Amino acid sequence: MRPVVFALALIATPAFAQVTADTPNPLAGNADAIEAGHGLFGKMNCAGCHAYDLTGGMGPDLTDPSWQYGGKPGEIYHTIAEGTPRGMPAWKDKLTGDEIWQLVAYIQSRKQ
Amino acid sequence: MALRKILLGAVLLGSAALPSSGEAPKKEAAPAAKSFTGATANLAPGDAAGQWTRQARDYANTRYSPLTQINTKNVGRLRIAWSFSDGQMYGHEGAPLVVGDTMYLVTPYPNIAYALDLSKPGAPIKWVFQPNPDPRAIGKACCDKVLRGWAYADGKLIYNLLDDNTVAVDVNTGKEAWRVKLDDVTKGPTMTMAAFVVGDKVFVGSSGGELGTNGWFQALDVKDGHTVWKAFTNGPDDGALIGPDFKPFYSWMKGKDLGVSTWPGEMGKQGASAPWGWVSYDPDLNEIYYGTSNPGPRTPSQRPGLNLWSSAVFARDASSGAAKWAYQFTPHDEWDYDGVNENVLIEIPWKGARRKVMVHFNRNGFAYTIDRKTGEVLVANPFGHQNWAKNIDLTIGMPVINDAAHPIVEKKVTNICPPDIGVKNWNPSAFSPRTGLLYAGVFNSCMDLNNHIVQYIPSSPYDGMEMQRHAGPGGNWGDFIAWDPVAGKRVWSIKENLYVWSGAVVTGSDLVFYGTMDGWFRAADARTGKVLWSQKLGSGITAAPMTFVGPDKRQYVAVYAGIGGGAGVLRRERGFMPGGNTLYVFSVDGNGIGNGTTQLTQAGAPAPVSVPPAAAHN
């Protein structure tokens, strides 16, 4: 786990367009962010497709070691924001940039 | 092709040897064997015995084949005659159709159709049709990207695409005849059921019980696919085609706009109740029967009320769609007990008279024998392990619920039986008019359930159930059973390690075929339940088997091995096999068009088809 660099309140989240594959997650490893991501994962119905334990169902297992769309924080961010061709919905209209980073932090904390 | 139609009225016992285009007329029917129950069925439309032109073979959904070449004496010699791999890895659920000399197959998503020429060595491909459905459908189908079957009518192969289109393919050219878009897949609904054809109409329904959809069922015109009638499950009576002809048997289902008033506010519109299962048809009453899915969201505390018409069965006039009656199996369903399983139409002796009934194995663990003219429940007994209800009170047609089975939000309730997937799922049963019994693959399991409050977000699951499933009493996850629909009891059962999630077919020689999730394809004696033959296949079996007579006059049995669909809930169990996509075709000694020295001619040249040795004809 990476060291916690920022406190949550201080983060200036990059706007959607500015996030690239190499953008680091400003919230990586932040315990509050991970907990917030956990809450969003249930509240936004991610769990309905990926299961409450993230091991997959309608959507893929998010805990196994592989990534279809890339496992860098910026790539995961991009997957969640934009959706994918095979049915992962786009969330950029329903979530803020901070919230997406929280989800990225949560998913990464659960990856094997 | 000469598809000889034999018009039958009520087909009684001993109709085992119908003459067919494929099979030379035989001496005589097997000696009139004794029925356990006296139940019979109308096997209309009475296709030639060697053909299999609709998923359940007949309108009544019996999956009974009168063929007798393969029998209890020679079934032990069944071997693979040929096989066909279609390359798609999602779960395979449908049965091949055989019309004339051609076999039709359709893969799960991306729903590619194949026509195979059974008159040539190796059953080569006649044509392939690729419909290219919208890939966004992949993320919307709850339980794998499956298709439960396809239909043949009027020179067309007709089936549903996962992306909410129904397509018809001209069987002579392999080209698209028509395609109609019936819903918007990006919002959540998909289509996975087998289209069902009667006369000039194709009946189709929507899937999406977990996606907050607004379930519908419709009749399309076979000629061009246009909608003849459409009925929503929930909502106001006019949209549900509920009018003056609607006469439910029980008073609690009578009243105006119950599809609205039995839900809080407008919630019926997102209440799913999707008709994604099987359709059956009674030609004398001109009525169709089909069931509806669980209500949405799956968390029941968010939708107080009966939630009509979820988890129910509808009887409708086939021509107009007008509802005749309905019956809700699981009022205010709290456990995801969809009502979509097959309704097998049979006639039974009942209190000194004969009654036209349907038999329905519900997810909730009760097998219902229902008068199909009136909707009155005659029998409702458990066919497997369940503990959510004490019984079904037949005076009011309602379950008496066990208090310990109610889910609680944010609290784990342990050992509710069965779990969401039920004591049986969509995997279709078979009925033999010779034995008077039904044959079904069933599940033995329970769940620990924790419910969550969910919000409705279009195109995402409207669900809220978090559960762990475990095997029920005895430790085996499943059985294959024979069921007496009059007495409402098991006659015999065969224990299996995992859920038995395949369909069944039963023959005029009293053989019943089914497959297991650990890859065994079996034949059992339909009278005793003794397993007479098993063959291990390359993947688990979650498809429906069928049997036919080829142009070489030989009887074959065919089944897909390609585990998937809802059966994936056991993917971490011991014995669960990897996915697959192979159709296996069996015959006595494996003889036929797929092997033998006579087949080994130069590529492309038509090879003579070997004539079966006399031994193959019993």
Q: Name the minimum distance, in Å, from the CA of A38 to any CA of chain B.
A: 14
Per-residue pLDDT at B602: 45
CA B468 to chain centre: 26
CA distances from B61 to A25, A64, B42, B57, B513 (A): 56, 42, 10, 7, 16
Tell me, yes or no, if B549 comes closer than 8 A to chain A by beta carbon.
no
Chain B residue nearest residue A83, CA to CA: B136
Helices and strands (H, E) in chain B, number of each type: 1, 38
Tell me, yes or no, if B565 comes closer than 8 A to chain A by beta carbon.
no
Q: Is B24 among the domain residues?
A: no
Q: Do the Cβ atoms of B136 and A85 come within 8 Å?
A: yes
The beta-strand segments (E) located in B10-96 are 64-65, 78-85
Per-residue pLDDT at A3: 38
Q: How confident is the model at residue A13 (pLDDT cuts 50, 70, 90)?
A: low
- Sign of the C-alpha dihedral, residues B113, B539, B520, B575? negative
Q: Which of A43, A45, A87 lies closest to B136 in CB terms?
A: A87
pLDDT tops 70 at residue A1: no
Residue A83 bridge partners (DSSP): none
A87 closest CA partner among B199, B459, B29: B459
pLDDT tops 80 at residue B7: no
Q: Residues of B with CB below 8 A from A42's CB?
A: 452
Instruction: Tell me the residues of chain B between 570 and 589 that have a Cβ less than 8 Å away from chain A.
Output: none
Contact predicate B530/B553, CB 8 Å: no
pLDDT tops 90 at residue B169: yes
Residue A13 burial by Cβ neighbours in a 10 Å radius (0-12, 13-18, 19+):
middle
Q: Which of B139, B141, B452 lies closest to A42 in CB terms?
A: B452
Instruction: Tell me the residues of chain A between 48 and 77 that have a Cβ less than 8 Å away from chain B.
Output: 48-49, 52, 57-59
Q: Name the minimum distance, in Å, from the CA of A76 to any CA of chain B.
A: 17
For chain B, what percent of residues have pLDDT higher than 70?
A: 91
Mean pLDDT of chain B: 92
CA distances from B501 to B365, B423, B520, B541 (A): 15, 10, 12, 7
In whole angstroms, give the CA distance from residue B180 to residue B431: 34
pLDDT tops 60 at residue B30: no
B270 vs B616, higher pLDDT:
B270
Chain A residue nearest residue B144, CA to CA: A58
Q: Name the minimum distance, in Å, from the CA of B464 to any CA of chain A.
A: 7
Q: Helix (H, G, I), strand (E, B), or coil: what is residue A107?
A: helix
Tell me, yes or no, if B140 comes closer than 8 A to chain A by beta carbon.
yes
Q: What is the pLDDT of residues B248-293, one digit of tens each?
A: 999 999 999 999 999 999 999 999 999 999 999 999 999 999 999 9
pLDDT tops 80 at residue A4: no
Per-residue pLDDT at A111: 83
What DSSP string runs through B405-449?
A: G--BBTBEEEEESS-TT-SS-SPPPEEETTTTEEEEEEE-EEEEE
Q: How confident is the model at residue B199 (pLDDT cuts 50, 70, 90)?
A: very high
Q: What is the dihedral of CA B287, B288, B294, B297, to 10 degrees?
A: -90
Per-residue pLDDT at B613: 43
Q: Do the Cβ atoms of A49 and B452 come within 8 Å?
A: no
Q: Where is average pLDDT lowest: B235-244, B524-533, B573-582, B609-618? A: B609-618
B22 closest CA partner among B591, B613, B558, B547: B547
Per-residue pLDDT at A11: 46
* Annotated catalytic residue, options B336, B342, B420, B479: B336
Q: Residues of A with CB below 8 A from B452's CB?
A: 42, 47, 52
Q: Mark whether B336 is an active-site residue.
A: yes
Q: How confident is the model at residue B597 (pLDDT cuts 50, 70, 90)?
A: low
pLDDT tops 60 at residue B141: yes
Contact predicate B160/B139, CB 8 Å: no
Q: Name the minimum distance, in Å, from the CA of B565 to any CA of chain A.
A: 10
pLDDT tops 60 at residue B221: yes
What DSSP string runs through B339-406?
A: --S--EEEEEEETTEEEEEEEEE-TTSEEEEEETTT--EEEEEESS---SEEEEETTTTEEEE-GGG-
Per-residue pLDDT at B14: 35
Per-residue pLDDT at B201: 98
Q: Is B92 among the domain residues?
A: yes
CA distances from B32 to B29, B107, B510 (A): 8, 40, 12
pLDDT tops 90 at residue B504: yes
Q: What is the rounded average pLDDT of the residues B326-346?
A: 98
pLDDT tops 90 at residue B19: no
Q: What is the rounded average pLDDT of the residues B526-535?
A: 98
Q: What is the rounded average pLDDT of the residues B8-23?
A: 38
pLDDT tops 80 at residue B484: yes
Structural domain containing residue B270: 2-19+30-588
Phi, psi of A6 (to 5 degrees): -115, 150
Per-residue pLDDT at B513: 99
Per-residue pLDDT at A15: 55
pLDDT tops 70 at residue B609: no
Q: Do the Cβ atoms of B460 and A58 come within 8 Å?
A: no
Q: Is B603 among the domain residues?
A: no
Q: What is the rounded average pLDDT of the residues B388-414?
A: 98
Q: Is B613 among the domain residues?
A: no
pLDDT tops 60 at residue B529: yes
Q: Is B536 among the domain residues?
A: yes
Tell me, yes or no, if A93 comes closer than 8 A to chain B by beta carbon.
no
In whole angstroms, give the CA distance from residue A62 to residue A50: 7
In whole angstroms, give the CA distance from residue A62 to residue A47: 11
Taking each helix axis from N to C end, the angle separating A73-82 and A97-110, rounded to the nearest 10 degrees, works out to 120
For chain B, what percent of residues have pLDDT higher than 90?
A: 89
Interface A–B counts its CB contacts (< 8 A) at 54
Tell me, yes or no, if B458 comes closer than 8 A to chain A by beta carbon.
no
In whole angstroms, give the CA distance from residue B496 to residue B161: 33
Instruction: Tell me the residues of chain B between 185 and 214 that have a Cβ less than 8 Å away from chain A.
Output: 210
Chain B residue nearest residue A56, CA to CA: B569
Q: Mark whether B294 is an active-site residue.
A: yes
Contact predicate B49/B549, CB 8 Å: yes
Q: What is the rounded average pLDDT of the residues B51-68?
A: 98
Candidates A58, A68, A91, A99: best to mutate against B (most CBs of B within 10 A) is A58
Per-residue pLDDT at B301: 97
Domain ranges of chain A: 2-110
Query: Tokens representing B32?
Result: 């009139």
pLDDT tops 50 at residue B5: no
Per-residue pLDDT at A12: 46
- Sign of the C-alpha dihedral, residues B415, B417, B420, B421? positive
Q: Name the minimum distance, in Å, from the CA of B530 to any CA of chain A.
A: 37
Q: Which of B136, B142, B455 lies closest to A58 in CB terms?
A: B142
Per-residue pLDDT at B598: 56
Candidates A41, A43, A45, A88: best to mutate against B (most CBs of B within 10 A) is A45
Q: What Rg, from alpha-carbon coordinates, does chain A have?
A: 13
Q: What is the rounded average pLDDT of the residues B1-18?
A: 37
pLDDT tops 50 at residue B432: yes
Contact predicate B273/B224, CB 8 Å: no
pLDDT tops 70 at residue B165: yes
Structural domains in chain B (count): 1
In whole angstroms, give the CA distance from residue B564 to residue B90: 6
Q: What is the pLDDT of residues B516-527, one digit of tens each?
A: 999 999 999 999
Q: What is the rounded average pLDDT of the residues B434-462?
A: 97
Per-residue pLDDT at B608: 44
Q: Do the Cβ atoms of B139 and A59 come within 8 Å?
A: yes
Q: Where is average pLDDT lowest: B31-40, B282-291, B442-451, B475-484? A: B31-40
Q: Do the Cβ atoms of A45 and B140 come within 8 Å?
A: no
Contact predicate B57/B72, CB 8 Å: no
Contact predicate B122/B594, CB 8 Å: yes
Residue B229 bridge partners (DSSP): B219
Phi, psi of B38 (to 5 degrees): 80, 5
Q: Helix (H, G, I), strand (E, B), or coil: what is residue B47?
A: strand
Q: Name the minimum distance, in Å, from the CA of B413 to any CA of chain A.
A: 16
Q: What is the pLDDT of residues A63-109, one digit of tens each?
A: 999 999 999 999 999 999 999 999 999 999 999 999 999 999 999 99
Q: Which of B139, B143, B455 lies closest to A87 in CB terms?
A: B139
Per-residue pLDDT at B28: 45
Question: Would you report the helix, strand and coil content of chain B in percent, each value rounded to 5?
Answer: 5, 35, 60
In whole angstroms, give the CA distance from residue B398 to residue B396: 6
Q: What is the pLDDT of residues A24-45, one digit of tens each?
A: 999 999 999 999 999 999 999 9
Q: Is B608 among the domain residues?
A: no
Chain A residue nearest residue B453, CA to CA: A43
Per-residue pLDDT at B594: 79
Q: Helix (H, G, I), strand (E, B), or coil: what is residue B114?
A: strand
The CATH-assigned architecture of domain A2-110 is Orthogonal Bundle (1.10)
Q: C-alpha angle with apex B225: B219 to B231, nearest 5 degrees?
A: 25
B108 closest CA partner among B505, B524, B543: B543
Contact predicate B311/B339, CB 8 Å: yes
CA B585 to chain centre: 20
Q: Do the Cβ atoms of B461 and A85 come within 8 Å?
A: no
Residue B169 bridge partners (DSSP): B157, B176
Q: What is the rounded average pLDDT of the residues B589-610?
A: 61
Q: In b/e form, how buried is each residue of B441-470, taking b as 16+ CB within 10 angstroms?
A: bbbbbbbebbbbebeebebbbbbbbbbebe
pLDDT tops 90 at residue B437: yes
